Each structure stands twice: as structure tokens, then as C-alpha cells.
Amino acid sequence: MGQTQGLTATDNFEFLAEYQYHNDLQFLTDLSGLSHVNLPRDFVKQGDELQYTFEENNAYDKEAVSVSFNGKPVGYVKKYIVAFFIRLRMTRSLYA
């Protein structure tokens, strides 16, 4: 699982480490909602920085976290990862 990051057809679970926030935190995960955006295959390249936004006014999910690249929507953070972003927002507000 560690080598494939839970992304192969035979991987039934994705185990996530407990992430602690620091300025250069990086991790790999899938995005949801990709079928609703029509992006060229090479729109986002390795090393590009993505932006995220909390969508409290989202009619379908009050905890939705959208992901964009240079203002263009790319997808959404999956529900089981959203808890990390909520903790990240709380951590940042403590130090702001």
C-alpha cells in the first residue's frame, strides 16, 4: 500500500497518516468531481501549486473544499480528507 498509495485496482483501502501542519506539507490524493470539469490532460503538471477554498455555501456539502489551479476549478477534496483541511484551518487561525 505504501508504494502504490492505494491507487491500484487491487488496493481496497487508502490508509492515511496523521498529518501535522507545517509550511511545506505535501501529500498525494485523488480529487473528486473530475467528471464535471473538462480539462486538458496536461492542464496541471507535476510541481504546480493548487489552491483550495472552503465552500460553506455549497448546497450539496457544507464542508466542501474545492481545488483550483490559477482560478480554474479542478475538482474537490474527497470527504475523508476534508477533516485534515478543517484541522488545517483551525491550526492556521490559532497562529494568525
Element (H, E) at 89: helix 79-95
Q: Taking the model in full, what pTM does it have?
A: 0.65
- Count of CB atoms situated within 10 Å of the CB of 91: 13
| Residues of the chain where predicted confidence (pLDDT) is lower than 70 | 1-28, 91-96
- Give the per-residue pLDDT at 35: 80
- Give the per-residue pLDDT at 1: 47
Residues in the chain: 96
- Give the per-residue pLDDT at 17: 57
